[in-house]
Structure formats: structure tokens, C-alpha cells
């Protein structure tokens, strides 16, 4: 089954970047816990990706040591006027100012808002808390292009059809090396319907003693692609590691989808979590990774 999923992606035609696509930066407005758990959280924008010369790239984010960390801030934009979005809905603008230096590895890319108020949605919970596990407000997409855009052909729906749910669950690999008991329940916290039979769905399979969270891309011909391992990820302070195994399982959540470089096509921003490692992956609407931004804590 996994071979079929991977094989579908290889058959997709190449999609050239539209000539009118514009330079852009993409980040997230985060609820950042203080290193002292007794102090309140702060709201900051983390600059993640930049689009230029026809490609999305990540800002530098994985220093080899503390000396490189101290110099890294110079490679980020000093100030950015961010438009904060949830789908196509604008939530406000923020003037983000970069720090003169990053004091901790987990602070890479963070900018402080110059003025309040700062938009927020919902109440703090653990859904997007990552490795720290502290309940936080959900991250919100932030773009430098001055608008929030979602191609008209894409809409968010409450839940995928029953037939689609069955196909998605059947395509997900069963966990190995974990003791699971009983029949899992499945939740569908984010579902998007696109043109020509395309879907993007997030599914959480919950066993009594284990959970699996995935993002699944359904192509126009009915093929499925599961977002799993990302070949540019790293593990801990040991430095840059070998690629993650294609079947690796870790939380993978949809932050938002939108057209953030004005090329008429949708991009998908997801967040993942591993041990001592959190990060974001930007993907095409077909599930192909474009760029990864990750950081460790220790």
C-alpha cells in the first residue's frame, strides 16, 4: 500500500511556477512559552520561508554551535510588516522586529511585534504545543505580501465524505513497535476540498494507548499521498542526521493553506514534532515538500 501511495506522487506532472508569482516571506504567529514556566507566554512571529527566483527556501535555522547561533540573526530580515491570516480571512497586521541575536536554539527566526494588539484564535491547548507540551494558542500564518489569499477552488469543509474517510484510514500504515489495544477512533480536525477531485485531510487515529496524526493528500485521479518523513530533518544537537525513514510516524498537523506567493496555486503549511525537535514543512497542494524549517531545544 505504501509503495502505491509513494508511486502516485512520482506520476504527477511537473508544475512550473507562474510567471506572475511574487517574492514573499511566510512565517507563523506563535504563542511562545517563556524559559521560566512561572512567566507568561509571549506572542512572536517566526520567519520561516522565503519565495524568490521561482523557489521556496527556508531561512537559515539549524546552527552547528552557539557561535553560529549568535551570528544567525544577521541572516534574517530586520523588520517585516506581516499580514496574519486564517485561510483567506485577514486577522490583522504586525510589524515584526528581529532580535539582535538569538539566545536559545529554539528562538531561531523569532521576531517581536513592535506594537499591540496581536491577533489570536481560540484558547490555549496542547494540539500545537510540540515537544514542550505546554498548552499554547494555535499558530497563525503570517505573510509579507499584504493579503490573505486562498484560491477560490479550495474550500474548508466540516468533514470529508464517509467514502473518503474509509479510503484514507485504509491507506495509513498500521503502527509497528507500539502496543495498541482495541479499535482506533478517527477524528478529522481539518479538511479541504480542491479542484478536480483534490482533497487535503488531517486525520488523528486514537488508540487507548497511542495516537497517530497524519496529513493525507488525495489527487485528482484518486491516488493518495501521506505526509511522513522529510529528508532534510535533523535529530538533536548531534547535528544533521540521516534522512527520516519514509514510514516514520510523528505528529503532523495542518497550520493553514493558502496562496502565499500569488501564483494561483495553494501551498500547505504543516507543523511536526519529534523528540527535542519541532518544525514546519511547506508543501504543495499535492503533498510534495517545498522547504523545511526546524529547531531543537537542548
Q: 277-289, pLDDT tens digit by residue?
A: 888 999 999 998 8
Bridge partners (DSSP) of residue 80 are: 96
Sheet of strand 199-207, all strands in order from the earlier edge strand to the far edge: 155-156, 185-193, 199-207, 210-218, 224-227
Spatial CA neighbour of 32 closest among 117, 108, 116, 83: 108
User: pTM for the whole thing?
Assistant: 0.85
Q: 93-146, pLDDT tens digit by residue?
A: 999 998 888 888 888 999 998 877 899 999 998 888 887 888 999 999 999 988
Peptide bond into 238 cis (omega under 30): no
CA distances from 258 to 182, 218, 233, 254, 293 (A): 38, 17, 24, 11, 18
Torsion sign, CA atoms 260, 296, 213, 288: positive
Q: 52-77, pLDDT tens digit by residue?
A: 999 999 998 888 788 888 888 889 99
Is residue 282 within 8 A of residue 267, CB to CB? The reply is yes
- pLDDT for res 237: 39
Q: Is 84 exposed, middle or buried (0-12, 13-18, 19+ CB in 10 A)?
A: buried
- pLDDT for res 236: 38
Question: 18 vs 40, which has greater pLDDT?
Answer: 40
Alpha-carbon distance 238 to 234, whole Å? 9
Residue 218 — pLDDT band, cuts 50, 70, 90?
A: very high
Question: 125 vs 34, which has greater pLDDT?
Answer: 125
- pLDDT for res 60: 87
pLDDT at 235 over 60: no
Q: Where are the domains positioned within the chain?
A: 2-8+151-296, 24-143
CA distances from 157 to 11, 132, 203 (A): 28, 31, 14
CA distances from 295 to 31, 234, 279 (A): 16, 9, 6
- pLDDT for res 228: 62
Q: 137-187, pLDDT tens digit by residue?
A: 999 999 998 889 888 799 999 999 999 999 999 988 777 777 777 888 999
Region of residue 64 (phi > 0: left; psi between -120 and 50: alpha; otherwise: beta):
alpha
Alpha-carbon distance 77 to 67, whole Å? 20
Alpha-carbon distance 173 to 190, whole Å? 20
Is residue 193 within 8 A of residue 155, CB to CB? The reply is yes
Amino acid at each position: 500500500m505504501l509503495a502505491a501511495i509513494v508511486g502516485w506522487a512520482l506520476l504527477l506532472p511537473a508544475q512550473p511556477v507562474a510567471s506572475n508569482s511574487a517574492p514573499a516571506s511566510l512565517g507563523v504567529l506563535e504563542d511562545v512559552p517563556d524559559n521560566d514556566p512561572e512567566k507568561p507566554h509571549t506572542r512572536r512571529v517566526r520567519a520561516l520561508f522565503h519565495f524568490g527566483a521561482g523557489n521556496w527556501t527556508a531561512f537559515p535555522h539549524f546552527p552547528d554551535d552557539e557561535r553560529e547561533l549568535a551570528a544567525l540573526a544577521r541572516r534574517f530580515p530586520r523588520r517585516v510588516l506581516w499580514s496574519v491570516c486564517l485561510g483567506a480571512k485577514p486577522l490583522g497586521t504586525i510589524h515584526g522586529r528581529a532580535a539582535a541575536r538569538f539566545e536559545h536554539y529554539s528562538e531561531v527566526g523569532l521576531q517581536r511585534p513592535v506594537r499591540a494588539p496581536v491577533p489570536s484564535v481560540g484558547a490555549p491547548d496542547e494540539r500545537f504545543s510540540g515537544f514542550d507540551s505546554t498548552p499554547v494558542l494555535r499558530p497563525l500564518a503570517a505573510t509579507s505580501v499584504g493579503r490573505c489569499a486562498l484560491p477560490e477552488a479550495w474550500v474548508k469543509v466540516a468533514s470529508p465524505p464517509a467514502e473518503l474517510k474509509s479510503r484514507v484510514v485504509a491507506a495509513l500504515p498500521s503502527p509497528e513497535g507500539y502496543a495498541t489495544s482495541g479499535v482506533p477512533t478517527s477524528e478529522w480536525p481539518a479538511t479541504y476540498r480542491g479542484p478536480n477531485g483534490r482533497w487535503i485531510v488531517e486525520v488523528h487515529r486514537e488508540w487507548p494507548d497511542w495516537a497517530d496524526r497524519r496529513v493525507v493528500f488525495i489527487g485528482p485521479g484518486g491516488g493518495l499521498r501521506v505526509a511522513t518523513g522529510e529528508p532534510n530533518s535533523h535529530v538533536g544537537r548531534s547535528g544533521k542526521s540521516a534522512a527520516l525513514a519514509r514510514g516514520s510516524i510523528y505528529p503532523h498537523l495542518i497550520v493553514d493553506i493558502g496562496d502565499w506567493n500569488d501564483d494561483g496555486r495553494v501551498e500547505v503549511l504543516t507543523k511536526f514534532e519529534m523528540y527535542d525537535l519541532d518544525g514546519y514543512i511547506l508543501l504543495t497542494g499535492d503533498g510534495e515538500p517545498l522547504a523545511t524549517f526546524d529547531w531543537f531545544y537542548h
